[in-house]
Amino acid sequence: MSKHILRFHVNDRAVEVAVEPWHTLANVLRNDLNLTGTKIGCDMGTCGCCTVHVDGKARLSCLTLALECQGAKIATIEGLNEYEIHPLQRAFAECGGSQCGYCTPGFIMQSCAMLKENPDPTRDEIKAGLSGNLCRCTGFMKIYEAVERAATEMREKPVSAPVKA
Amino acid sequence: MPIVQGSGSTRNEHQKNKGVWSDSGSPGVVANSIIGKPAPLKDSLKKVTGEAVYADDMKFPGMLFCRILRATVPHARVKRLDITKAQAMPGVRAVVTGRESGVRFGVLPVSQDELSMAQEKVIYTGEPLAAVAADSEDIAQAAIWAIEVEYEALTEFLRPQDSLKDVEPAQQIHDKVEKKHPKTNIHKAVDQEFGDVEGAFKQAASTPNASFKFDGISHGFTEPHAVIAHWDAEDRIQLYTPQQVPHYTHRALAKVLDLPMHQIQVIRTTVGGGFGGKSDPFQHEMIACMLARNTRRPVKVTMDREETLLTGRGRHPTESKVAMAFDKDGKLLALDSDVLIDGGAYGSFGVVSAYYNGVLSNGPYLLPAFRYHGKRVYSNRIPSGAMRGHGSVNPRYCTETLVDMAAVELGIDPCELRLRNFLPPNSITPHHKFRVTSTGIREGLMEAMKRSEWSKKWGKLPYGHGIGVGCAWYISGSALPIHWNKLPQSTVHIKIDMDGGVTCHSLAADIGQGSDTMIAQIVAEVIGCKLDRVHVKSTTTDTAPIDLGSYSSRVTFMAGNAAREAAEVVRKDLAAAASKLTGQPAQYFDFAGEEIVCRSKPSVRVGFMEALHEAQADRGALIASGSYQSPPLGGDFKGSNAGLSPSYSFSAFICELKVDPDTGFVQPIKVWAAHDCGKALNPLSVEGQIEGSVHMGLGQALTEQMRYRNGQMLNANFLDYKIPTPFDTPEIEAIIVESHDPEGPFGAKECGEGALAPVIPAVGNAIFDAVGVRMFEVPMTPDRVLRAIEAKARKEREA
Ligand code: FES
Ligand code: FES
């Protein structure tokens, strides 16, 4: 078995990396590209910690084979605050939406994708949007508050493009 | 953010007396600029940007990767363990087995029963047998698959009842068992009786009793176990580990590796959730160190989710028979309980669990007579240990259910009955001599009743819709350290150099609960500086003074007091400097907003930096140390230490829910959670702890259970082990109750654990209010609720 060359864009940078065919996007981001902000909580699609954007859509990077992303545009938590901190990041920090922080990058990436499609979600829509993400620390209340606060802020002052891609 | 003032302690005398303080004049309230203000966690920006470094995020040059071979059977002799094929594989750098070390360890000195890897026999499915370090994880895993094991089955103890029986020594799981029962697999038996229990039951007007059963549950922290060990060129071992109690790991490593403690450095990485599940010294920590020693290379162990769940230490499965006695006015007379606790394969914190399951029933109600028989047994299941609310959660469900049953039988409102029985502030429990300083439970319950409109709802909602109440208390730090010695339980050091940065050193582990922020707030408050001047270094044993760590809900109380004491030393230095610069007496200065202001002449003031540089003249950096040691407490009977705490937290919760009578599905609607934390140093964090506890408690109440077949955990993943999702989690209204504890730092007590226990009985009691059935098995899954509804209907048909 031999490695394959994966060419894609990660946080607006062209990247070329040799990967094993069975390695997931999460593995490659973390181990090969050192983007360890993306977390692995279960490696089987049950916790949402590994959520990233693939071509603008939220995806579980532990269930995505790296080689599926040939030519794709990936955004990770590190890409959200390249130039300045993203309103979602600030809101999660200030509202207490992050305690141990392990679930946080996944929640933020999921929320970010959700707000792109629905900039003014109701509580129930937020719950639905985040129902694939697990947080063991916060009881979710402060996460909803953070998303609501960021949504308001982003409606008033749209973020140009978190990642320039 | 509702904050209710308790009347528990009228004045925070401790703060007044402790010296240099200016008081705003109102009872129990200090002129705070930082304490009591919501503060985002100090490390939260790192966490939201992905910058925070967890163990698995770290890389070292030349690092090797470890995988662990685990037992596939619950109890068996290891007839053959052949590692030769694994050793021969290219890329494999070392293979270790139980032969590496026969030294036993464990978190409690009395239960040193864990081996780094199994030797002659395995005692639970998941126990480590061997480990490989290789150039990549893929190679390490392939090598694990190449190891051959042959087992010879031994009698398996998979139900706790089996462990009570006398067996041949060869069938015993451990050599060392409870002295009173030498031929069994009983790990610890506790028998206590105080007061006239028989008499109380004879004269009682109501004697509710029932048998209860609780499945084991897991902490479910999101970060799987991961550690890195590095045996460096100077022959020191560096262990990077997300530990809640680095100090106990430090001790255990020294024992197992046979090294002096100073040759080991334990470095706490960012902890991705603990809840008690990262507070034992672990086999994988030992294994990583052994492989690092053998290879002289950094070795990383990262477990997958299944292994993390198999490593266990979750809440003990328990079965209990409990009876309570009340007089006709609903006054509690006695409690009689018999509890069988399944400890799984190791001792872990189990001796404490065996006591806590009984003695922590001495609150929040005044209990005149008490009998408890508790047995914690070894079994061939996943080791149980300490989990949020350790030892108090399951018995709390039992007592709160029985209290409710008594209320119904006596025709008294369940909240009213509770109000009649609460322990008063400044009291001592009759037998165990637990000293209650402050309590705001009365105010808490009344506030929760008001907000939930309890009196309009209880007993009056339509069928299928109910409301229930549950109350609890919890220790605010165990008064006795696990290792008996004269050291303080917490020490904090402060260093301030000419740059003006205030560096605090502590080994209290920030596990996401925000203890670093708590320490920073206290120090900033005392020396009147901005919060972002204060930097807390709490990760490494080389630089941090010993703190016993984050368990038993001790950190705010103990490390907080230590931080305050250290900061007061610095404050005196700065006051002396300000005095020198202004000619005003040192005791006349107030500290706030980065200024040191003369109380009688506010125009006379000195900037923080100016005072600092003056104070540093001829001596350099200001350094100070503060510590905390619990006062002597308790009675003088055997086991009198268990449950002692310098203070106790109290909580009163009300839950409203709906039950679908056709499916048994329970949907919580709202939880009103009043928790007395003494003083909310950081209301944002206190709310976060309460909300998180409610969420976790709802999981145990409704969905979470460790399921087994033949000793194998069936649901060791997050798909089948069901943690409540956003849709399962109702609105939570955290109500902070402030009773201003006389000995807590700024009046504070714990809030991280005590707020879990009351949720579960509040749910159970609400189910009774909704559909008229009592739930004696937890979790209250739809099938169990439905069975109870059907049984009730059958009984009514037959009657
Ligand atoms: S790690 Fe991908 S969903 Fe859990
Ligand atoms: S903050 Fe710890 S899991 Fe969400």
Compute the average pLDDT of residues B52-57.
98
Residue ending a domain, among A79, A107, A135, is A79
- Using CB atoms, pick whichever of B45, B56, B275 lies closest to residue A93: B45
Give residue-wise pLDDT tens across range A89-127. Answer: 999 999 999 999 999 999 999 999 999 999 999 999 999
Give residue-wise pLDDT tens across range B446-473. Answer: 999 999 999 999 999 999 999 999 999 9
Which DSSP symbol is given to B699? I
CA distance B176 to B101: 19
Q: What CATH number should be reported for the domain holding residue A42?
A: 3.10.20.30
| Domain contains A109 | yes
| Ligand closest to CA B688 | 2
Number of other residues whose CB lies within 10 A of the CB of residue A142: 24
Percent of chain B with pLDDT over 70: 97
Compute the average pLDDT of residues B563-574.
98
Which among B446, B447, B428 has a CA at the least distance from the CA of B437? Answer: B428
| Domain contains A123 | yes
Q: Is B623 exposed, middle or buried (0-12, 13-18, 19+ CB in 10 A)?
A: middle
Location of structure tokens 């226990």: B757
Q: Which residue of A has its CA nearest to B670?
A: A141
pLDDT over 70 (residue B629): yes
Give residue-wise pLDDT tens across range B724-753. Answer: 999 999 999 999 999 999 999 999 999 999
CB contact under 8 A, B49 and A81: yes
| Domain contains A164 | no
Categorize the per-residue pLDDT at A68 as very low, low, confident or very high, splitting at 50, 70 and 90. very high
Categorize the per-residue pLDDT at B33 as very low, low, confident or very high, splitting at 50, 70 and 90. confident
| A44, A60: one domain | yes
- Domain membership of residue A12 as a residue range: 4-79
- Do the bridges between strand B186-194 and strand B708-709 make them parallel or antiparallel, or are there none, so unpaired? unpaired
- Contact between B47 and A81 under an 8 Å Cβ cutoff? The reply is no
- Contact between B375 and B410 under an 8 Å Cβ cutoff? The reply is no
Kindly give, in sequence order, each residue whose CB lies less than 8 Å from that of residue B353, ignoring residues fewer than 6 positions away.
B316, B341, B343, B376, B384, B385, B386, B390, B391
| A133, A91: one domain | yes
Compute the average pLDDT of residues B743-770.
98
pLDDT over 70 (residue B25): no
Helix (H, G, I), strand (E, B) or coil at A15: strand
Give residue-wise pLDDT tens across range B208-245. Answer: 999 999 999 999 999 999 999 999 999 999 999 999 99
Compute the average pLDDT of residues B393-407.
98
pLDDT computed for residue B21 by the predictor: 39
Phi-psi region of B643 (alpha: psi -120 to 50; beta: other; left: phi over 0): left
Angle at CA of residue B440, ends B439 and B443, nearest 5°: 150
Side by side, which strands form the sheet with B226-231? B92-97, B128-134, B64-70, B299-302, B226-231, B237-241, B264-268
Compute the average pLDDT of residues A123-140.
97
| A75, A106: one domain | no
Compute the average pLDDT of residues B697-718.
97
Q: What CATH number should be reported for the domain holding residue A100?
A: 1.10.150.120
Categorize the per-residue pLDDT at B31 as very low, low, confident or very high, splitting at 50, 70 and 90. low
Query: Which domains are delineated in chain B?
Result: 55-154+223-272+278-311 (3.90.1170.50), 388-478+642-798 (3.30.365.10), 489-628 (3.30.365.10)
pLDDT computed for residue B741 by the predictor: 97
Residue ending a domain, among A79, A102, A122, is A79
- Longest pairwise C-alpha distance within chain A: 52
Kindly give, in sequence order, each residue whose CB lies less than 8 Å from that of residue B182, ignoring residues fewer than 6 positions away.
none
pLDDT over 50 (residue B509): yes
Q: What value of ipTM does the predicted structure carry?
A: 0.97
Compute the average pLDDT of residues B523-546.
97
- Do the bridges between strand B369-377 and strand B332-342 make them parallel or antiparallel, or are there none, so unpaired? parallel
Helix (H, G, I), strand (E, B) or coil at B776: coil
Question: Which residue type occupies B387?
Answer: M
Dist. CA B692 → ligand 2 center (Å) = 9
pLDDT computed for residue B638 by the predictor: 87
CA distance B691 to B222: 17
Categorize the per-residue pLDDT at B6 as very low, low, confident or very high, splitting at 50, 70 and 90. confident
Crossing angle for the helix pair B393-410 and B759-771, to the nearest 10 degrees: 40
- Contact between A74 and A25 under an 8 Å Cβ cutoff? The reply is yes
- Using CB atoms, pick whichever of B304, B685, B692 lies closest to residue A43: B304
| Domain contains A92 | yes
| Domain contains A94 | yes
pLDDT computed for residue A1 by the predictor: 63
CB contact under 8 A, A89 and B45: yes
CA distance B108 to B455: 47
Residue A137 CA: nearest ligand 2 atom is 2
Q: Give the DSSP H or E segment for B738.
A: strand B731-738
Weakest mean pLDDT among B4-18, B126-140, B363-377 = B4-18
Q: What is the mean pLDDT of chain A?
A: 95
Which among B174, B555, B219, B213 has a CA at the least distance from the CA of B385? Answer: B219
Question: Which residue type occupies B209?
Answer: N
pLDDT over 90 (residue B791): yes
Location of structure tokens 């672990």: B282
pLDDT over 80 (residue B2): no
Q: What is the mean pLDDT of chain B?
A: 95
Dist. CA B634 → ligand 1 center (Å) = 48
| A108, A72: one domain | no
Protein residues whose CB sits closer than 6 Å to any atom of ligand 1? A 40-43, 45-50, 60, 62
pLDDT computed for residue B482 by the predictor: 86
| A113, A67: one domain | no
pLDDT computed for residue B799 by the predictor: 86
CA distance B359 to B386: 16
pLDDT over 90 (residue B155): yes
pLDDT over 50 (residue B64): yes
Number of structural domains chain A divides into: 2
Per-residue b/e over B82-120, b at no fewer than 16 CB within 10 Å?
ebeebeeeeebbbbbbbebbeebbbbbeebbbbbbbbbe
- Chain B contact present for A81, CB below 8 A: yes
| A96, A60: one domain | no
3-state secondary structure B138-187: HHHHHHHHCCEEEEEECCCCCCHHHHHCCCCHHHCCCCCCCCCCCCCCEE
pLDDT over 80 (residue B24): no
| A72, A107: one domain | no
pLDDT computed for residue B19 by the predictor: 34
Q: B56: number of CA atoms within 13 Å, CB side?
A: 26
| A10, A40: one domain | yes
Residue nearest to atom 3 of ligand 1 (CA): A45
Which among B421, B419, B417, B398 has a CA at the least distance from the CA of B407? Answer: B417
pLDDT over 50 (residue B16): no
Dist. CA B229 → ligand 1 center (Å) = 26
| A74, A10: one domain | yes
Dist. CA B432 → ligand 2 center (Å) = 37
Residue A61 CA: nearest ligand 1 atom is 2
| A10, A31: one domain | yes
| Integer angstrom CA distances of residue B712 from B56, B706, B739, B760 | 27, 10, 46, 27
| Domain contains A165 | no
Give the distance, in angstroms, between the CA of residue B713 and the centroid of all CA atoms in the same chain.
23
Q: Which residue of B has its CA nearest to A109?
A: B48
pLDDT over 80 (residue A161): no
Protein residues whose CB sits closer than 6 Å to any atom of ligand 2? A 98-104, 135-138; B 222, 273, 512
Taking contacts as CB-CB distances below 8 angstroms, the residues of chain B near A110 are: none
Q: Give the DSSP H or E segment for B516.
A: helix B515-527
- Do the bridges between strand B648-659 and strand B708-709 make them parallel or antiparallel, or are there none, so unpaired? unpaired
- Using CB atoms, pick whichever of B38, B41, B222 lies closest to residue A136: B222
User: In the numeric block, which tokens belong to residue A43?
Assistant: 């490696």
User: In the numeric block, which tokens belong to residue B621?
Assistant: 């950096």
CB contact under 8 A, B50 and A46: no
Taking contacts as CB-CB distances below 8 angstroms, the residues of chain A near B694 are: 139
| Min Cα–Cα distance to chain B from A30, Å | 8
Give residue-wise pLDDT tens across range B644-689. Answer: 999 999 999 999 999 999 999 999 999 999 999 999 999 999 999 9
Residue ending a domain, among A23, A45, A79, is A79
CA distance A154 to B486: 56
pLDDT computed for residue B18 by the predictor: 37
pLDDT over 90 (residue B484): no
Q: Which residue of A has its CA nearest to B512?
A: A100
Q: Give the DSSP H or E segment for A145.
A: helix A141-156
pLDDT computed for residue B622 by the predictor: 98
Number of other residues whose CB lies within 10 A of the CB of residue B583: 9
| Integer angstrom CA distances of residue B36 from A142, B39, B70, B203, B746 | 18, 9, 48, 48, 9
| A19, A75: one domain | yes
| Domain contains A26 | yes
Compute the average pLDDT of residues B630-651.
94
Helix (H, G, I), strand (E, B) or coil at B470: strand
Compute the average pLDDT of residues B546-552.
96
User: In the numeric block, which tokens belong to residue B437?
Assistant: 């300083």
User: In the numeric block, which tokens belong to residue B126?
Assistant: 């998941």
Helix (H, G, I), strand (E, B) or coil at B467: strand
Residue nearest to atom 3 of ligand 2 (CA): A135
pLDDT over 70 (residue B421): yes
| A11, A69: one domain | yes
Angle at CA of residue B161, ends B155 and B163, nearest 5°: 45
Categorize the per-residue pLDDT at B1 as very low, low, confident or very high, splitting at 50, 70 and 90. low
| Domain contains A163 | no
CB contact under 8 A, B693 and A138: no
